[in-house]
A and B are shown apart, each in its own frame.
Chain A
Amino acid sequence: MIEIQRNRIDVEAVVDSVRRNDAGAIVVFLGTVRADPDVRALDYEVYKPMAVRTLTELAERAREKFGVLELSIVHRAGRVPVGGDSAVIACAAAHRSEAFAACSWVMDEVKRIVPIWKTEAGPAKRRARRP
């Protein structure tokens, strides 16, 4: 499951999308919007067709690199309030070490190469969030 969506992410549905009988571990990562001073939400701008293509390639590379069985990535677009989930990654593997490694690697790559930009939204401000 590779998706960019404006509505809330159903975490359980993402986890279910990677369940397999030959998996001994599922690692799930949730990226959440942190309450920095004066920040009420983050606005995510996404170049959707390229983001979906890049996420699909990342999932494929993670399968090859770590031998994971299934991998799903769902990312929000638009406004996500403080405390909300902005990204969910679920990774199923035969053993937990590959699942942890793949999940961590994929999230780093999402931050590095997927065309998604975030802007802080607060009471009276709108600025790009620093890395």
Chain B
Amino acid sequence: MQIQVRLFATYREIVGEGQLAWTFRDGTTVGQLVEAVLAKYPRLLGHEKSMVLAVNHEVVRLDVVLREGDEVALLPPVSGGRR
């Protein structure tokens, strides 16, 4: 199945692209997708603990099973700022 992977800010800079089309076998989970992305782009290693994951614009857990056409976003911590 085809999955769109979106990357932002520091992750986009590390990978060199903000959008990747990736093919996975049926039943792949968000966690397995993240493992595949980290394996292909090892410079992302170390970021996974602070990474927020979203499927179709909604924050999800790692055990969510992906479906054909899903858009998975790997989100660095947002900018924050003092009050």
User: What is A's interface to B at a CB cutoff of 8 Å?
Assistant: 45, 47, 49-50, 53, 108, 111-119, 128-129, 131
With A45-B9, A117-B76 given, name 15 new contacts (CB 8 A): A45-B12, A47-B6, A47-B57, A47-B75, A50-B73, A53-B57, A112-B78, A112-B80, A115-B54, A115-B73, A115-B78, A119-B9, A128-B10, A131-B79, A131-B81
Determine if A50 and B10 form an interchain contact, defined as CB atoms under 8 angstroms apart. no
Determine if A129 and B73 form an interchain contact, defined as CB atoms under 8 angstroms apart. no
Question: How far, in whole Å, are A49 and B8 apart by their CA atoms in the complex?
Answer: 13
Q: Which of A112, A115, A118 has the largest count of B CB atoms less than 10 A from its CB?
A: A115
Interface size class of B (residues with CB under 8 A): 10 to 19
List chain B residues, Cβ under 8 A from A115.
8, 54, 73, 75, 78
User: What is B's interface to A at a CB cutoff of 8 Å?
Assistant: 6, 8-10, 12, 54, 57-58, 73, 75-76, 78-83
List chain A residues, Cβ under 8 A from B79.
111, 116-118, 128-129, 131
Determine if B78 and A50 form an interchain contact, defined as CB atoms under 8 angstroms apart. no
